[in-house]
């Protein structure tokens, strides 16, 4: 009987109410704030002046700004999406208002005396979901009972869908500003992310099934035969994957902060953001270049270019353990990564804190401090990692900003020298409001906003890390330059941009000192003898 595979160029976008589902659209409280303060505002603005958006999108200085990228068209569809959001998400819209009102109430009424009487004044929709607290200087705040919010009417899985469409090129609109309106060549599955069809579908990339079985699978998920469904399947088998069987360590760069480490019998994948397979002049590793089983997927922090649901959902069936930074203090700006993943169908989420470790057959994975890059907000969902394999030590610093070199003096005392370091150097990061603006109940002064940025290390800061750990190999990564990531990055550097000049300086200085150094781009493979 003829069997079929899922084609390697099928794009599968997880959506939340028609918007690309990034990590802050899943936890109820951050979703609520993003609906009212980002989505509705952008849609209102587009409906009233679509051509203004069309010209703003063309202006490179406004890249990543709040502008819808549909060339001034599809206004009626945006209007319908707005109306549908207003009616289907009324509970989250009320939650967003209540979070604002709670902040306001605490600011005016919590004066250092007991907070107990104020529970009566918590907005009704939030009652029973918050604990009111002071810090040691009597500044009032609240702690969200996040696991309870996931078990409430505020976590409505019907907002989650998956849009399948043919992927043919790198260029995609920036997802924080442009809703994903239905594509004429797409099949839109109304299934929540934890639905079994998600795993069954992506298993089909390697394990073929008959057309009837595939149709049954879709029927079980409530989707009868769609007239264009067969475009996504092929009888051509994929190239078999050859795992690394040598005695050393092989690492491969998949773009941005995504690195696959393999030793005999062990695979570790960092911050998965992976390209589909389609013709392109820029060579790259794709989903086809992943082992059958991923022993550990490791997440460094909760920014949309490091936790990408689009990729994570496609890997879920082959992931044994997913390692995430421990948090869960109930602050609005720092939703629990463990709850985020366990509520979207990921089993085996392992939380790690600073200096905690997981033992692997050939070494360990150790969580290390990650300072900065979060606009001075109290965000704890971030970790750098040390991977020990045999005698080798590899440090994955992600977007850590070396704002306090003494930290690394302490860390060096604990872990010793490092062979290989991977460092992000986006030293001109976006201002606080770009990512966290919707969470604030009061706008921040422009000058303060501009001073609090999502910046990684500059030359001095990065070189201090390389020198202190006596690294032999230094790689700059996580620079957002691969074109298949522009839908989540919106960064286009020129040769004069500081992240480029600073990282070029680092590479040159390291090479002068006899180190192997490079700013990674596209793809790379290195074999490290053990």
Applying CB under 5 A, the residues found at the interface with Fe ion are: 303, 305, 399, 478
Least distance (Å) between residue 293 CB and Fe ion: 27
* CA pair distance 179, 40, nearest whole angstrom: 11
Kindly report the number of other CB atoms within 10 A of residue 258's CB atom.
Answer: 24
Closer residue to Fe ion (CB): 344 or 381: 381
What tokens appear for 393 in the block? 């030590």
Closer residue to Fe ion (CB): 81 or 401: 401
Least distance (Å) between residue 489 CB and Fe ion: 8
Nearest Cα to 69, choosing from 187, 175, 161?
175
Closer residue to Fe ion (CB): 92 or 478: 478
What tokens appear for 427 in the block? 């030293």
Q: What is the dihedral of CA 485, 486, 491, 495, to 10 degrees?
A: 80
Least distance (Å) between residue 466 CB and Fe ion: 19
Q: Are 194 and 177 in contact (CB under 8 A)?
A: no
Least distance (Å) between residue 303 CB and Fe ion: 4
Q: CA triplet 476, 478, 484: central angle to 5 degrees?
A: 125
Least distance (Å) between residue 99 CB and Fe ion: 24
Least distance (Å) between residue 353 CB and Fe ion: 19
Closer residue to Fe ion (CB): 161 or 177: 177
Bridging pattern class, strands 420-424 and 187-189: unpaired
Q: Are 171 and 483 in contact (CB under 8 A)?
A: yes
Closer residue to Fe ion (CB): 267 or 302: 302
Place of tokens 């599955």: 189
Least distance (Å) between residue 34 CB and Fe ion: 17
Least distance (Å) between residue 424 CB and Fe ion: 6
* CA pair distance 288, 312, nearest whole angstrom: 15
Closer residue to Fe ion (CB): 399 or 502: 399
Closer residue to Fe ion (CB): 303 or 338: 303
Closer residue to Fe ion (CB): 15 or 478: 478
Distances (CA, A) of 506 to 155, 296, 297, 503: 46, 30, 29, 5
As a residue count, the chain comes to 530
* CA pair distance 141, 146, nearest whole angstrom: 15
């Amino acid at each position: 009987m003829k069997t079929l595979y899922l084609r390697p160029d099928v794009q599968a976008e997880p959506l939340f109410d028609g918007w690309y589902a990034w990590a802050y659209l899943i936890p109820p409280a951050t979703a609520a704030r993003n609906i009212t303060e980002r989505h509705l505002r952008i849609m209102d603005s587009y409906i009233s002046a679509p051509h203004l958006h069309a010209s703003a999108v063309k202006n490179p200085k406004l890249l990543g700004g709040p502008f819808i990228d549909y060339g001034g068209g599809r206004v009626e569809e945006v209007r319908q999406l707005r109306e549908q959001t207003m009616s289907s998400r009324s509970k989250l819209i009320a939650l967003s208002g209540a979070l604002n009102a709670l902040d306001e109430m605490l600011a005016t009424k919590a004066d250092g005396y007991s907070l107990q009487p104020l529970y009566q004044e918590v907005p009704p929709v939030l009652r029973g979901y918050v604990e009111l607290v002071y810090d040691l200087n009597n500044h009032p705040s609240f702690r969200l009972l996040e696991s309870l919010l996931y078990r409430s009417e505020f976590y409505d899985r019907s907002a989650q869908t998956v849009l399948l469409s043919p992927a043919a090129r790198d260029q995609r609109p920036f997802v924080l500003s442009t809703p994903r309106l239905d594509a004429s060549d797409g099949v839109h599955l109304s299934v929540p992310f934890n639905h079994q069809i998600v795993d069954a579908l992506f298993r089909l990339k390697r394990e073929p099934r008959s057309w009837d079985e595939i149709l049954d699978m879709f029927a079980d998920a409530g989707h009868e035969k769609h007239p264009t469904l067969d475009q996504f399947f092929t009888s051509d088998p994929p190239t078999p994957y050859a795992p690394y069987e040598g005695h050393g360590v092989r690492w491969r760069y998949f773009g941005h902060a995504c690195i696959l480490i393999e030793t005999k019998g062990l695979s570790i994948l960092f911050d998965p953001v992976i390209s589909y397979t389609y013709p392109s002049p820029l060579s790259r590793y794709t989903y086809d270049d992943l082992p059958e089983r991923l022993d550990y997927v490791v997440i460094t922090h909760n920014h949309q270019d490091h936790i990408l649901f689009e990729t994570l959902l496609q890997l879920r069936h082959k992931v044994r353990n997913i390692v995430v930074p421990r948090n869960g203090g109930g602050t609005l700006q720092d939703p629990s990564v463990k709850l985020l993943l366990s509520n979207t169908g990921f089993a085996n989420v392992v939380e790690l804190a600073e200096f905690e470790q997981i033992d692997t057959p050939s070494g360990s994975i150790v969580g290390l401090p990650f300072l900065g890059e979060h606009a001075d907000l109290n965000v704890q969902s971030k970790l750098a990692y040390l991977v020990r394999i045999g005698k080798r030590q590899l440090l994955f610093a992600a977007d850590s900003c070396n704002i306090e070199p003494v930290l690394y003096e302490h860390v060096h005392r604990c872990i010793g020298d490092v062979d290989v370091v991977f460092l992000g150097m986006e030293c001109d990061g976006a201002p606080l409001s770009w990512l966290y603006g919707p969470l604030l109940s009061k706008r921040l002064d422009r000058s303060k906003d501009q001073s609090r940025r999502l910046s990684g290390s500059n030359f001095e800061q990065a070189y201090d890390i390389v020198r202190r750990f006596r690294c032999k190999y230094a790689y700059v990564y996580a620079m957002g330059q691969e074109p298949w990531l522009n839908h989540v990055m919106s960064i286009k550097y020129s040769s004069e941009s500081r992240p480029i000049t600073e990282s070029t300086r680092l590479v040159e200085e390291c090479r002068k000192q006899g180190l192997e150094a490079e700013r990674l781009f596209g793809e790379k493979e290195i074999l490290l003898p053990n």
